[in-house]
Amino acid sequence: MRVGDDPEYMWTPQELGAGAFGVVTLSYRHEGGGAWRRMAVKRISLRKETRLSAVIEMVRCAGREVALCRRAGASPHVVPMYKPWFDCRAGAIALPMDAGDCNLEQYAVRCGFQYPPLVLLSLCVQCARAVAHVHRCGVVHRDVKPDNFVVNAAGTVAGADDGSSSDGDYSDARPPHVRILDFGLACGVEEVGPELRRCVGTPHYMAPETFPHNCDCDVPAARDVWSLGVTLFRLSTGVFPAFGCDAVVSWPPANVSSTGLLPLTVDHSGQLLSEFRAMPAVSASILAVNLRRRPTLARVLLHLQGIGEVVEPVL
């Protein structure tokens, strides 16, 4: 890890996200010639901490995040992390990674949670493939949600700037490329005891066994499968799944969501309607409260691929 500002990056004041760790800012990395790459730089601030033990723990967690991201390896399903550094002036650890065009939640909102034929299916399959790849690499993500998937949407229905998709003709629309990122809450499957029992994640997406009163770490990867189920439901309906006393997934009213959106059941050449009928059913099959009845990611992918032809994104 180098120390000081990195001269390869051009900074902007735009914030892409924020949390207890600090902020994520938009930057540009010089790729040679006149080429610049959009970058998201996660800046973990150490200035607020007055205890040395707390600073050491934050540095350890940052190093762990880098190691787990790199364990996932070079993959089209994972956002790569570049060489981190310590910013002396800001007193922050800087973790640079590809920014993409937006995150998956922003993309879905921009689409109004209504997509061209088979684009929704491609989005969901790519999310499932990304989580499955992370698990094959021995990592449990623990914060699977649309905000933690980066979208490269150039040339897609929500990414085209020429307005060519505004007339309702989606015949040439391609799905965006979706990749998973943010390993700040991740852990290795080999980690046992207190680490796997930590109650971490985003509340709407957390599995029941994550919470302290119902903690079960026998199948740690199952919590990511649950979060994926909520993610698929969110993408296909615009709202979150609602549970009754019998813990059965039900179709919620629109006012449950902060955006209050539900997709219209209109079709584009008759294909969109069946997709939207099928996707909540897939989500419902995933959201089994008993984690041992929850399907594996392999079964989820088989179910998704059985809905229709999966249109591959342009990488």
How far apart CA 174 and CA 153 sit, in angstroms, is: 9
Three-state SS for 108? helix
Q: Distances in Å between the alpha carbon of 30 and those of 97, 178, 280?
A: 13, 23, 43
What does the alpha-carbon distance between residue 313 and residue 315 come to, in Å, rounded to a whole number? 6
User: End-to-end distance of the chain based on CA atoms, in angstroms?
Assistant: 30
- Could you tell me the sign of the dihedral formed by the alpha carbons of 120, 123, 127, 132, in that order? positive
Q: Is 42 annotated as a binding residue?
A: yes
CA 262 to chain centre: 21
CA dist 145 and 35 (Å) reads 31
Across the chain, how many H-helices and E-strands are there?
A: 6, 13
C-alpha span between 137 and 188 (Å, rounded)? 9
Instruction: Evaluate whether 220 touches 196 at the Cβ level (below 8 Å).
Output: yes
Residues 239, 262: Cα–Cα separation, whole Å? 7
Query: What's phi and psi for 231, nearest 5 deg?
Result: -60, -45
Write a three-state SS string for 72-89: CCCCCCECCECCCEEECC
Question: What is the DSSP code (8-state) at residue 63?
Answer: H
Task: Point out the annotated binding site for ATP.
Answer: 42
Task: Point out the annotated binding site.
Answer: 42
